[in-house]
Amino acid sequence: MKSVLLIGLGRLGRHMAVKLHELDHEVMAVDKNEQRVNDALPFVTNAQIGDSTDEQFIASLGVRNFDLCVVTIGDDFQSSLETTALLKDLGARFVLARASREVHAKFLLRNGADQILYPEKQSGDWAAVRYTSDHIFDYIQLSGQYAIYETAVPEAWLGKTLKELAVRQRYHVNILATKHNGVLDPMPGAEHAFHAEETLLVLGDNKDIQKFLKL
């Protein structure tokens, strides 16, 4: 369990609060809008109404005591930038800040952000990959080079085993797991025979996976 200071309770902040609650983390939520704070109360450990650009107010929260500080302010970049800088100046251990543009990310990183959250960019990238293929069901970009795809079993693989197909040697990708009716089977053995009702979780270089998806 981690302690999280979540600043900004718009759509993104509220979604994060709900998920953090599901994961049993302790969350202190902050927003200057009283209604947003009240709406978040069922999902947070504590909440404060206040201006995150006010140094005295932020100092009163004891930012050094949180494992993670998240700035999800999306409608006022100046406030986001000032809040991020204040958190770092006051000793925050790790600051994750929201950005909607590359130039915003650069300023945030220069002013205290340890890492950048790109909700619009990330969801846009995901949708572009997911909905331009009939065979991709999910997609996680691990780095600029590597990704994990959930995809249908290639028709030519049906009834064949991992050993027969020599997947890693031929296609330079790794089959991390198979999924059938929502049940995950991690690390299928060499004698696993593929069938049409299952999907594959494939890890590899993006270029190699794109070749694999054309099978």
Domain end, chosen from 91, 117, 143, is at: 117
The predicted-structure confidence for 157-215, as pLDDT tens digits, reads as follows 999 998 899 988 988 999 999 998 888 888 888 888 899 899 999 998 988 888 887 76
Q: Across residues 64-87, what is the average pLDDT?
A: 95
The predicted-structure confidence for 55-67, as pLDDT tens digits, reads as follows 999 999 999 999 9
Q: Pick 144 or 73 by higher pLDDT.
A: 73
Q: Across residues 144-151, what is the average pLDDT?
A: 88
**pLDDT, position 132:** 75
Domain end, chosen from 70, 101, 117, is at: 117
pLDDT band at residue 79 using 50, 70 and 90 as cut-offs: very high
Q: Do 84 and 146 fall into the same domain?
A: no
Domain end, chosen from 95, 117, 139, is at: 117
Q: What is the mean pLDDT of the chain?
A: 91
**pLDDT, position 142:** 85
Q: Across residues 114-136, what is the average pLDDT?
A: 81
pLDDT band at residue 122 using 50, 70 and 90 as cut-offs: confident
With a cut of 80, say whether residue 120 has pLDDT above it.
no
Sheet holding 136-141, edge to edge: 136-141, 146-152, 198-205, 173-180, 183-186
Q: How far apart are CA 86 and CA 17, in angstroms?
A: 22
Q: Do 155 and 197 fall into the same domain?
A: yes
Q: Do 33 and 106 fall into the same domain?
A: yes
The predicted-structure confidence for 22-32, as pLDDT tens digits, reads as follows 999 999 999 99
Q: Do 150 and 50 fall into the same domain?
A: no
Give the total number of structural domains in the chain. 2
Q: Do 90 and 143 fall into the same domain?
A: no
Q: Across residues 99-128, what is the average pLDDT?
A: 87
CATH number of residue 183's parent domain: 3.30.70.1450
**pLDDT, position 139:** 86
Residue 127: strand, helix, or coil: helix
- Contact 192/177 with Cβ under 8 angstroms? no
**pLDDT, position 89:** 96
Domain that holds residue 90: 3-117
* DSSP conformation letters of 28-89: EEEES-HHHHHHHGGG-SEEEE--TT-HHHHHHT-GGG-SEEEE---S-HHHHHHHHHHHHH
Q: Do 75 and 29 fall into the same domain?
A: yes
